Structure 1
Amino acid sequence: MEETNKGIQFMQEGKFEEAASCFNKVIEEAPEDPVGYINFGNLLLHMNDNERAERFFVKAITLDEKAGTAYYGLGNLYFEQEDLKRAQMNYQKAIDSGLEEADVYFMQGLTLQQQEHDKLSLVYFQRAKELNPIDEAILFQYGLTLAQTDQLALAKSMFEAVLELDQTHSDAHYNLGVAILFEDKPEEALVHLSKAVELQPDHILAIDAKSKVEMLIEQSNQ
C-alpha cells in the first residue's frame, strides 16, 4: 500500500518515472493483484501511451472481472480516442461492477450526450450530481442536458448553482440568460448575456443573443 500511495503521489506531481518504479514494485510483489496494473495503466494513460495502457487495464480485468476502476480506465482511454461506443460499454461495466463514484457517472453522461442520447444521459448526470453536488462541471453539463430536453426550470436552477460556485463561468451566464428569455424576461436575460460577453469577449453565441435582446427591448420601448 505504501508503494501504491507513493506512486499515486508521484503521478500527481508529474514525476512519471518515479511513479512507474513504484507501480512496478507493486506488481512484482503482488502479480495477481489487479491494483498495480490499474495504477500503471492510469499512469500510461497520463503519458499518452494508450496501447500499453489498454494492455494493463485488460490484464487487471483478467485477474478480476469486477475490477471497476479498470473498466473506468478503459472508458477514459476510448473516450479520449473518440471511440464513444467502446467508452460507453466500459463505463457501464465499471458501474455494473460497483464503482459508485461521481466521475464514472459523469463520464458516461458525457459519452451518451455526445452521441445525442440526451434523455438517457440525464440519468447519469443526475446520479453524478447526487454523488458530488458541488462539482461545477457536473452541474453545468446536467443543466445543458436538461435544457436540451426542454426542462428549462430545472436547467435554470443548475446554471444558477454553477454561478453560486463560480461567478466567472461565462457559459453558465449565457445559458442562464437564454433560459430566462423563455420566461419572457428580456431585461433580466440581458444582465447575464452581457456578463457572459464581459467575461468572454469572443463568446459568439452570447454576443449574438445580447444584440438580439437589446433590439427586442428597444422595439418594445418604442
Structure 2
Amino acid sequence: MSDAHAAARITLNEALTRAHAHWNAGQAAQAEQLCRSVLAASPDQPDALHLLGMMAHAYGKLDMAIDCLSAACSAPGVSAAYAANLAEMCRQKGLLERAEAAGREAVARDPMLVAGWNNLGITLQEAGKFEESRRCLERVVELHPDSADAHSNLGNTCRRQHQFDLAEAYYRRALALDHGHAQAHSNLAFLLSTQGRQDEAAAEARIAIELDPHLVEAYLNLAEAEASRHRHDAALRALDMLSAFAPRHPAERVARAKALLRMQRVDGALACARDALTLAPQSADAHHAHARALHALGRTDEALAAYREAARLPGVVREDALNGLIQLLDEARRPGDARAARDEMRAARPSPAFVRETDS
C-alpha cells in the first residue's frame, strides 16, 4: 500500500510522524506526499505546512518555503521555532522587515529559544540595527557559551560597530571552539580585508572554501581580498567558482558588478546589477550597485533614484548610498538637495554613545 493510500487510513498525527521519518531518512518524495495528504484533509495544519516549507527551503524553493512557513505561523499556539525559521528564510530573501517581525515573535513566544535570538540578531545586524543585534547575540552566547556559531555571529556585529579588536577576538574564540568552523574563517577573512590585511584575508577565505566548498560568503570574501590587491582577474575567478554551484545568486551578481566597476567595465557592471535587482528587488546592496553603475555612465536622474532607493531600504549600505547621492547632487550642481542629503546622513548615523564594550 502506498503512503498516499495509507494516509487516508491513519490519523493526521501518524501521517506527520511518518512524513518526518521519511524526511530524516532522505526520502523527500514520500515525505512530501504525506504532508500533502495531511493538508488535503486539513489545509491549515501548521506542522505539515512547516515540514513542507523546510523541504522547499532545502531544495532552494525559497518563495514556496516562506509561503508555507508564513501559513504555519499564522496558526495559534504553534512552536516558536517555526517563527525563528521563518525569520531566517525571510532574511535570506532580503525581506528584512518581515524577518525582524518573525524573529521578535519567536523570542516573545519563547525567551529561551537560542535560534530565535540568533536569527533575530543576524536580521537586525543586516538591517543596520547594530546595538539591538548585539544584545540579541550576547543573549545567544549567554544561553550557549560553547557555540562557535554564537561567537562568530557576535563578532560580525562588533565588526560592523567598528570594534575590530573585539570582533577578531570573537572570531578567534569561535575557531578555538571549532577549528573547522568554515563560517568563522570566512568572517575573519572579511574583517582582515576591511583592515587592509589582504594576504591574511585571502588565506582565511581559502581555508573556509576548503572546509565548505558551498559557502557563498567565503567566495565573496576571497573576491574582495583579490580585488583589493588589484588582482581583478583572480577576483572574477573566485566569483566564477561561486557561480558554478550557485548560478545567478544575488550576492554574486552584486560582487561581480563591483569588480567590473573597479575594472571600468561599466556596461557589464550595469547588467550584473540589473540581474541582482531581478533576483532580489528588495536588496539595498543591489540598488546601490545599480546606482553606482548608472552614476559611472552619467545617467544622473536614474542614478539619483537608485541611490535613494538603496538608502530607503533596510541594510548596511545606507551611508554609502547617501554618500553617493551627495556626490552626484554636488556634481549636478544641486546644493540644496545635497545639503538635505547630508542632514539625512547625519541623522541616520548612530550616536557614539551606543557603541560600547562588553566584558566578553
User: Would the TM-score normalized by the shorter structure come out above 0.5?
Assistant: yes
Counterpart for residue 50 of structure 2: 72
Pair 1:124 & 2:102 matched? yes
Deviations 1:124-150 (A, max 9, x none): 111111222223232222111111101
Counterpart for residue 205 of structure 1: 187
- d(CA) in 1 for partners of 2:131 and 2:191? 20
Cα distance, 1:96 vs structure 2: 2.6
- d(CA) in 1 for partners of 2:177 and 2:190? 15
Pair 1:62 & 2:44 matched? no
Q: RMSD of the alignment, in Å?
A: 2.9
Counterpart for residue 144 of structure 1: 122
AA partner of residue 71 (structure 1)? L
The count of aligned residue pairs is: 189
- d(CA) in 1 for partners of 2:69 and 2:104? 16
- d(CA) in 2 for partners of 1:54 and 1:33? 17
Cα distance change, pair 178–53 in 1 and its aligned pair in 2 (3 A): closer
Kindly report which structure 2 residues correspond to 1:104-119, keeping only aligned pairs within 5 A, or say none.
104-119=82-97
Pair 1:89 & 2:86 matched? no
Cα distance change, pair 99–62 in 1 and its aligned pair in 2 (3 A): farther
**Residue 133 of structure 1: SS of its match in structure 2?**
coil
Cα distance, 1:122 vs structure 2: 0.8
Counterpart for residue 169 of structure 1: 147
Q: Mind listing any 5+ residue stretches in structure 2 that lack a counterpart? A: 198-360
Cα distance, 1:187 vs structure 2: 5.0
Cα distance change, pair 153–78 in 1 and its aligned pair in 2 (3 A): same
Q: Is the 8 A contact 1:193 1:209 kept in 2?
A: no
Task: Select between 149-158 and 57-66 the one with higher mean Cα deviation.
Answer: 57-66
- d(CA) in 2 for partners of 1:106 and 1:76? 12
AA partner of residue 49 (structure 1)? Q
Q: Is the 8 A contact 1:72 1:94 kept in 2?
A: yes
Task: Select between 193-202 and 97-106 the one with higher mean Cα deviation.
Answer: 193-202
Q: Is the 8 A contact 1:102 1:132 kept in 2?
A: yes
AA partner of residue 81 (structure 1)? Y
Cα distance change, pair 183–115 in 1 and its aligned pair in 2 (3 A): closer
- d(CA) in 2 for partners of 1:211 and 1:169? 25
- d(CA) in 1 for partners of 2:174 and 2:81? 27
Cα distance, 1:207 vs structure 2: 5.5
Cα distance change, pair 170–82 in 1 and its aligned pair in 2 (3 A): same
TM-score (norm 2): 0.46
Kindly report which structure 2 residues correspond to 1:25-64, keeping only aligned pairs within 5 A, or say none.
31=9, 33-64=11-42
Q: Is the 8 A contact 1:193 1:210 kept in 2?
A: no
What fraction of aligned residue pairs are identical, expressed as a percent? Answer: 16
